[in-house]
Structure 1
Amino acid sequence: MNGALTHVVVRDHPWTDPLAVAAGIGGTDGALALLSDGGPGGRWSHVATAPDRVHVGGVEADLFDPLRDPAWSAGTVGLAAYDAGARPATGERPLVWPDLILARYPAMLSFDHHQRRVRAVGRGATAAQAEAAAEQASQWRAAAVTPATPDAPAETFTAEAPDQAYRDCVAEVVARIAAGELFQANIARAWGGALKPKADPFDVFLRLQQGRASPYGAFWRIGDRALVSNSPELFLALDGETRRIEARPIKGTRARSADPLEDAALAAALQASAKDRAENLMIVDLMRNDLARASRVGSVAVERLFAIESHPTVHHLVSAVVGRAEPGVTPADLLEATFPPGSITGAPKHQAMKVIAEYEPPRGAWCGSLFILEDGGGLTASVLIRTAAFERRDECWTFRTLAGAGIVADSDPQSELAETETKIAALRQALTGQQSVQAICVTSRGFR
């Protein structure tokens, strides 16, 4: 069943909570949960397991060329690592995560949060295979369980470098910006650790989903690798029918407050901040340039500028850049023209990636993209921020996660350090149960 899946069967079902279905399936090898919070920025969730075709690459000579094989059709999920996209600027670096992972799911449950309906989608090389796959997906609804909140699963959560090292990096990048070398670079910090012996990455996913859900939440396990993401950011959406492309870059962050008046004031201050608006505008211009490589002449436009999006722990400054894909442009072409996402590199993009490589070890999956191929040549891809990558070694799961800040001419090193702490807070709490930095130091549009 490794050829193109040309037959499709769709069955409609009453609404079921996608998190309950994902919890029923659990975190076994091949399990997939792309979960939207159901808000304005995320309409669709998807749950599946048992892919019939898997690709785990090493170093890819042409990163997205495998997607041009017709066998990787709708129902394919992929993860492109940041370092693969940055390699033309950085040269060869140690491989800490495969450049590209793909898995095709003949059976999938898709949840429309806006219309409150569920579609069981079956795909196959024959009509009978598609019918059987749709039946398999339909049966997953019966496995739904009320998800419990697992205990904190992490043994450790340790910074790879001291705080002062990050402040020094920021100061150096500010000096390089002042010297005219670049305008902005997204510089990140990393943390790592291990899960308790009986804990699983799926425990982290469940803890994030309860009270901190995001438009592009995800759990995905392929073999001894797993990904848990709580991303709020859309990298790309391509509508297969209208050919409309949309990108929603995030630049600008404030922590939320439990006090409603203070919380509103924080959001207003973010929207009015000249620094954050300038940082956001640089990336909007970069994304306009990237989208133009795959769009009809004159079709690229800024649909929304400096809008506030509020999530459980942070406010973000978000803009929307749109275009109309040229005839014949495929998801592979669009990803090739724009990857890695501009919001997590900087401007100019090529130079920013070179500078990032001077200060950071390879990023791996973090700040790459998780994407799903859709019917009619469509695509939805997230930016893998708020994301932890897991690897199982000797029956123990280890993890690595990062948080970054966009450094510009007037960046303050301590403020940028504080921004990374704000961004990592939800993942830290999901992993360890600890909410404060001090407590940690003691121990050392959704997917359519």
Structure 2
Amino acid sequence: MSEVLSHVVTRDAPWAEPVEVAAGLGGGDGMLALVSDGGPGGRWSHVATAPDRVQVGPVDDAAPFQALRDPAFDAGVVGLAAYDAGARPATGRRETTWPDLMLARYPAMLTFDHHRRTVRAVGRGATAELADVAAEVALGWLANAAVVAPPSAPAETFEAEAPPGAYRAAVSDVVERIAAGELFQANIAQAWAGALKPTADPFDVFLRLQQDRASPFGAYWRIGNRALVSNSPELFLAFDAASRRIEARPIKGTRPRAADPVEDAALADELKSSAKDRAENLMIVDLMRNDLARVSQPGSVRVETLFEIENHPTVHHLVSTVTAQADRGIGPADLLEATFPPGSITGAPKHQAMKVIAAHEPPRGPWCGSLFLIGDGGTLTASVLIRTASFERAGDVWRFRTLAGAGIVADSDPSAEEAETDAKISALRQALIGP
């Protein structure tokens, strides 16, 4: 175990736009920007740099989040769990290039409250004096805020990994498996990959996504020669350590946005009333209820909202909210181990769905894993890493990979599911290569 940062100092400051503060710091090694659109589902943003402890590597399959039980990682910690680490009990070990789990602890961090339009600098340290220094460091970042000029399209290529028709064939196979009684639903994805221009880096992609395409869980994070850019609208888990409340907001059901307001409203209404999409959503709600029940007080799991429409820049989504009261002694590691990977991007039954996914896809890496933040007392916020690209630097060039998936059920049409993945990837594709 390493040194515990047991002292916390906070300083309040006037409002500043988090993306501008992030731009002032740049996208170098250790840079973190968890930037919300400020809407109802995304109240908080966080910006930090210079982590004092980084842990990257494989995990124990029996307890993949064991590192979070180390008191040194009890607050001010950001983590990225790759999908494949959670899927391994169903799929076995498969060759991957992305670590199972990445953790970084930030002694200095800025937290932005979009609803109250306030900023708080948080400093953590082994002593009160060191915590005070860290808080002042975070305050200093505000002075470097920079007006964001959207960079030009940074990618040179954006190519599908599989040949034409492969995705539709995969969907057809899953529909047949469902008809045979093997499972009820599986989230099947297709992938794209490419390279950035020699003068570009992943931070350019993040800044472009923040222009008119911001989401509740936008993110940029770089550790060494790996970086992540996410434009996720989906909350995986939120845990309030004081009230013991757990919340999950699974997304299932999608329609593209339309430029014409009347057509756009009609698409949203169609999604709201779609029996197929409602059934798909309800399966995942039931799965999340089951997952949360493992770590919750008996009888406390509730479905607070069902089949709500959320409007995002390029798509409408069907979203439900499941809540519970965490059982005594339950913390972030227990919550993640009981529920990861997220049900909305696996299927039902979960274990069998992950086996079927592995039959059609290579390892996913960070995509459909989770990016999470642990705050004071074990408070947890974790997103589902959809609308996400992972980057790895080889020499002077950054290469990327991204995916988009759809929930396949008994009456899925392969062409319609392919069109849904195209709608989901559109914002990220435009951020990479332009219109």
- Alignment TM-score > 0.5, same fold: yes
Structure 1 length-normalised TM: 0.96
2:34 maps to 1:19: no
Distance in structure 2 (CA, Å) of the matches to 1:143 and 1:230: 24
Give CA deviations for 1:122-167 in whole Å, capped at 9, x if unaligned: 0000001000000000000001000110000001000001230110
Q: Which 5+ residue runs of structure 2 have no aligned equivalent?
A: none
Give the ranges of 4+ consecutive aligned residues of structure 1 lying more than 6 Å apart after TM superposition.
none
TM alignment of 1:15-414, pairs within 5 A = 15-61=15-61, 62-414=63-415
Q: State the alpha-carbon separation in 2 of the partners of residues 71 and 174 from structure 1.
A: 47
Paired position in structure 2 for 1:424: 425
Please tell me whether the aligned partners of residues 87 and 341 of structure 2 are also in contact (alpha carbons under 8 angstroms): yes
Structure 2 distance, partners of 1:327, 1:254, is: 40
Q: Secondary structure at the match of 1:149?
A: coil
Deviation at 1:59, TM superposition (A): 4.7
Q: Distance in 1 between matches of 2:116 and 2:362?
A: 44
| C-alpha distance in structure 2 between counterparts of 1:333 and 1:114, whole Å | 30
Amino acid at match of 1:44: W
Distance 1:268 1:324 in 2: 33
User: Using the alignment, how far apart are the partners of 1:425 and 1:167 within structure 2?
Assistant: 19
Secondary structure, in 3 states, of the residue corresponding to 2:72? coil
The whole-number CA distance in structure 2 between the counterparts of 1:317 and 1:185 is 17
* Secondary structure of the corresponding residue to residue 210 of structure 2: helix
**Does structure 1 conserve the Cα–Cα contact (< 8 Å) formed by 2:74 and 2:377?**
no
Alpha-carbon contact 1:2-1:52 (below 8 Å) kept: no
SS in 2 for 1:163: coil
Q: Which amino acid aligns with 1:27?
A: G
Q: Which residue matches 1:440?
A: none
Q: Deviations over 1:275-325 (max 9, x none)?
A: 000000000000000000110000001000000000011000000000000
Counterpart amino acid of residue 13 in structure 1: A
* CA apart distance, 1:330: 0.6
Q: Percent identity?
A: 75
Contact 1:60–1:100 (CA under 8 A) maintained in structure 2: no
- How many residue pairs get aligned? The number is 434
Measure, in 2, the Cα distance between the counterparts of 1:161 and 1:11. Answer: 51
Return the alpha-carbon distance in structure 2 between the equivalents of residues 95 and 177 of structure 1.
28
Q: Distance in 2 between matches of 1:317 and 1:414?
A: 20
Q: Distance in 1 between the 2:378 and 2:200 partners?
A: 38
Counterpart-to-counterpart distance in 1, 2:364 and 2:60? 16
TM-score (norm 2): 0.99
State the superposition RMSD in angstroms.
0.8
Q: Secondary structure at the match of 2:304?
A: strand
Is the 1:236–1:382 contact (alpha carbons within 8 Å) kept by the matching residues of 2?
yes
In the TM superposition, what whole-angstrom CA distance separates every residue of 1:221-276 from its partner, at most 9, and x where no partner exists? 00000000000000000001100000000000000011111111100000000000
Q: Is the 8 A contact 1:346 1:353 kept in 2?
A: yes
- Specify the SS of the correspondent of 1:302: strand
Structure 1 residue 327: deviation in Å?
1.0
* 1:58 Cα offset (Å): 3.0
Where 1:424 maps in the other structure, the secondary structure is helix
Q: Report the CA distance between 1:2 and its aligned residue.
A: 4.0
Shift in Å, 1:60: 3.9
Aligned to 1:439: none
- Conserved in 1, the CA contact under 8 Å of 2:148 and 2:207? yes
Q: Provide the secondary structure at the position in 2 that maps to 1:45.
A: strand
